[in-house]
Structure 1
Amino acid sequence: MSKPPVNIHKVYHAHVYFDQSTLAFATELCEQAGQKFGLKVGRVHQKNVGPHTRWSCQILFTFKDFEPFIPWLDANRDGLSVLVHGVTGDDLKDHTDYAYWLGEAVEVNLEGLK
């Protein structure tokens, strides 16, 4: 079982994972997050980017956004897996020690982060 997100960092990324069948839903979810919480939403990648082994969209948020945003995201993700991690400047630790999951954990390719 994965660890639930905890608010211990200044800045975070949430990576919403999806595939062709959930593309429209994930796109709408990320757009809603940006509009509702005033968050910076990255591109909706229909390819694997960086250490992510599935299509994804990144949402950038801070510790101030954490308490309202994370419960909303968890309640509205409709089964999508979401990686939530701190942004500390240490990419390897961010994607391992500081990685939390909403839903099922997805494999992350750590090779480029070492």
Structure 2
Amino acid sequence: MTGDQQTLIDTAYFAPSEPTVSIQNSKDIEEEIKEWHFHIYFFQQNEEQKQQALVLRDRVLALVKEGFFKVVPFYRVNLQPIGPHPIGSYEVWCPTEHFARAFSFFTLNRGGLSILIHPLTLYPLTDHTSRAVWLGASMPLDYSSLADVEEGPLGQYPKLKLGYSK
């Protein structure tokens, strides 16, 4: 490779350039997802998988107690389908500040369990569909119980006073 070729590569890949898009309004800067849900799924009739899910939940609770991360595992474990969730599940609320640590933990420790991860915004249907990601196999969800738009304050179940609603 000649010096001119290397200069061309360096310029093309490393040289700063002027942005081609300008910020038209503050929405690009101010709009940010503040809260997330991790839904851990298990086949409730499969005792081995159910135990794996409950052990993972106990580990989350222990790590919260030790201050490893600040998430809120719901105390309710759904042993039957509920809402859009087709099988046994429980959810863990996570603030954006601890998302990377929670995502890393679940990625490394989920075993064979499937986990749905979605943001919490005023658009529950969109959050559970086009904004959702899966660790492990995805599951078909029943979206009929989800509203297009939530009326009311944004936050983790304001009536429960959890998360930013606290």
Regarding TM over 0.5, the answer is yes
When normalised by structure 1's length, the TM-score is 0.87
Amino acid at match of 1:18: F
Could you tell me which residue of structure 1 aligns to residue 162 of structure 2?
A: none
Secondary structure in structure 2 of the residue aligned to 1:98:
coil
1:40 aligns with 2:72: yes
- Within the candidate set 44, 51, 58, 2:91 is matched to 58
CA distance in 2, matches of 1:64, 1:34: 18
CA offset at residue 88 of structure 1? 0.2
1:28 aligns with 2:55: yes
Query: Is the CA contact 2:38–2:92 (under 8 Å) kept in the aligned structure 1?
Result: yes
Query: Is the CA contact 2:70–2:94 (under 8 Å) kept in the aligned structure 1?
Result: no
CA distance in 2, matches of 1:98, 1:85: 6
Secondary structure in structure 2 of the residue aligned to 1:13:
strand
Q: Please say which of residues 12-21 and 26-35 is displaced more in the overlay.
A: 26-35
| Identity fraction in percent | 30
Amino acid at match of 1:96: T
Could you tell me which residue of structure 1 aligns to residue 126 of structure 2?
A: 93
Largest Rg, 1 or 2: 2
1:112 aligns with 2:145: yes
When normalised by structure 2's length, the TM-score is 0.61
CA distance in 2, matches of 1:75, 1:96: 24
Could you tell me which residue of structure 2 aligns to residue 18 of structure 1?
A: 42
Structure with the bigger RCO (C-alpha within 8 Å, sep 6+) is 1
